[in-house]
Amino acid sequence: MALRVVFMGTPDFSVPTLRAIAEAGHDVAAVYTQPPRAAGRRGLELTASPVQREAERLGIAVSTPLSLKGDEEQQAFRALQADVAVVVAYGLLLPRAILDAPRFGCLNGHASLLPRWRGAAPIQRAIMAGDAETGVMVMRMEEGLDTGPVALTSKLSIGPDMTAGELHDELMPACAALMLEALAKLEAGTLAFTPQPQEGALYARKIAKAETRVDWSWPARDVHNHIRGLSPFPGAWCEFEAGGKPERLKLLRSTLADGAGEPGTVLDDGLTIACGAGAVRLTEVQRAGARPVAAPEFLRGARLSTGMKLS
């Protein structure tokens, strides 16, 4: 028999899981997502979340509350009489009344190997820390932040030059597949949970604008991990001199390289940059207002020569 599901999610990452649940024949009673936000070049147009657009395509009722703390919202949620709520990157805290409303509670698909990287930015933080492995987990939610017991795990290797965007795209279908497996086990009465260990817990705090600028005094591996962990969004960046004034340059791809010099110095005509120890070669960059380009195309217009410095 199919489960009666309430789905709660917001960004692109959540969409494959919603689609998979609906296509598997479960009864999706409602979708909860963040309200439409200002977008567009001037920030004047209200844009529905990717999950809302997918729910509307599937013909599923959508709710976009600003908060779930009020009695009215909690009563409306209980009235859905869900067997289970599935939560994937929703973005709102769920109070106890919401967590307890579905018959089997709330299942969360989280993009890390808990207890490592609890919180808002697990994909970026895993790469920025140089992790060689991550994954997705299905856990039962409780009031703590990503602290609930884990039912299922799917692991994934992180390649040495893999960006956050590439990892995100590999984890999306993995999350959907794992959640379908969890729901099948839940239907069969075989879904078992194991408490998270206390050791190794790390918090993946939201990426702040102040930390996106590259610090060339860091070792090359840290600079490389910083660049790929923030690519494509929000993007690591530095400045170079263009026409006698500084211009911001977004750094989208890099690789470790041989070389040494004063941190930030251009070492060759292949855009190899000296770091505090070692060097990185920038392979894809983006000037302000322009499209991303490979390093050779950027160098044809930027005229960065050996010995110049990035800051």
Q: Express each pLDDT in 207-240 by its tens digit.
A: 999 999 999 999 999 999 999 999 999 999 999 9
Reported confidence tier of residue 1, pLDDT bands at 50, 70, 90: low
Position 200 scores a pLDDT of 94
Position 242 scores a pLDDT of 73
| Beta-strand pair 4-9/27-32 | parallel
Position 43 scores a pLDDT of 61
Average pLDDT on 36-58 reads: 86
Position 42 scores a pLDDT of 59
Position 215 scores a pLDDT of 98
In whole angstroms, how far apart are CA 66 and each of 32, 45, 206, 207, 293?
10, 18, 20, 22, 39
Both structure tokens of 98: 């919401």
% the chain with pLDDT above 90: 91
**Could you read off the pLDDT of 75-116 as tens digits, one per residue?**
999 999 999 999 999 999 999 999 999 999 999 999 999 999
CB contact set of 211 (below 8 Å; sequence gap of 6+) = none
Position 41 scores a pLDDT of 60
- The amino acid occupying position 296 is P
CB contact set of 119 (below 8 Å; sequence gap of 6+) = 125, 145, 146, 203, 204, 205, 206
In whole angstroms, how far apart are CA 5 and each of 92, 214, 243, 253, 267?
18, 44, 58, 40, 57
